[in-house]
């Protein structure tokens, strides 16, 4: 399986602008620029997209691991925070809230730590990854 995305850019770094398109077309010439990356401009940026992909992958991994342990989540909600300093990603923190019938905090915590290390996106990254979990 292969997935693709493309980027188009015009101009210099600070005044230029670009757009991103994904194979699925869910992003279709979605705007990005210096301001959307390093300020508060309208549009997306690579770090936000990395956070979204990591949150999605991690949450699906948690769901799979819950199922392997005999649990089914009523709800799982994850926030992924990409930490960047000096133009380098220095870490990602995954914060998940789960509503899972009949699971203990310890069981949930063990599954979260496993997913933190083993989801596909986590395995592809070379940065520290941390997580916290809350049962609701």
For residues 29 and 53, state if they share a domain: no
pLDDT at 41 over 80: no
Q: What is the CA radius of gyration of the chain?
A: 17
For residues 17 and 65, state if they share a domain: no
> What pLDDT is recorded for position 74?
98
Contact 93, 83 (CB under 8 A): yes
Any idea what the CATH number is for the domain that residue 100 is in?
Answer: 3.30.300.20
Alpha helices in 28-88 (DSSP H): 34-38, 46-68
N-terminal to C-terminal alpha carbon distance within the chain: 36
The boundaries of the domain holding residue 26 are 5-38
Contact 55, 82 (CB under 8 A): no
For residues 22 and 78, state if they share a domain: no
For residues 30 and 68, state if they share a domain: no
For residues 52 and 119, state if they share a domain: yes
Backbone φ and ψ for 52, nearest 5 degrees, come out as -65, -45
* Dist. CA 87–CA 67, nearest whole Å: 39
Specify the pTM.
0.92
Structure confidence by residue, pLDDT tens digits, 77-107: 999 999 999 999 999 999 999 999 999 999 9
């Amino acid at each position: 399986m292969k997935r693709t995305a493309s980027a188009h850019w015009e101009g210099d770094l600070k005044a230029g602008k670009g757009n991103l398109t994904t194979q699925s077309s869910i992003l279709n010439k979605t705007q990005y620029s210096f301001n959307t990356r390093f300020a508060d401009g309208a549009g997306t940026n690579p770090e936000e997209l990395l956070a979204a992909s990591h949150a999605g992958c991690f949450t699906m991994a948690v769901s799979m691991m819950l199922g392997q342990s005999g649990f089914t989540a009523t709800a799982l909600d994850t926030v992924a925070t990409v930490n960047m300093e000096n133009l380098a990603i220095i870490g990602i923190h995954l914060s998940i809230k789960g509503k899972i019938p009949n699971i203990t905090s310890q069981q949930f915590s063990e599954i979260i730590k496993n997913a933190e290390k083993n989801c596909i996106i986590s395995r592809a990254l070379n940065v520290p990854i941390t997580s916290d979990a809350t049962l609701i």
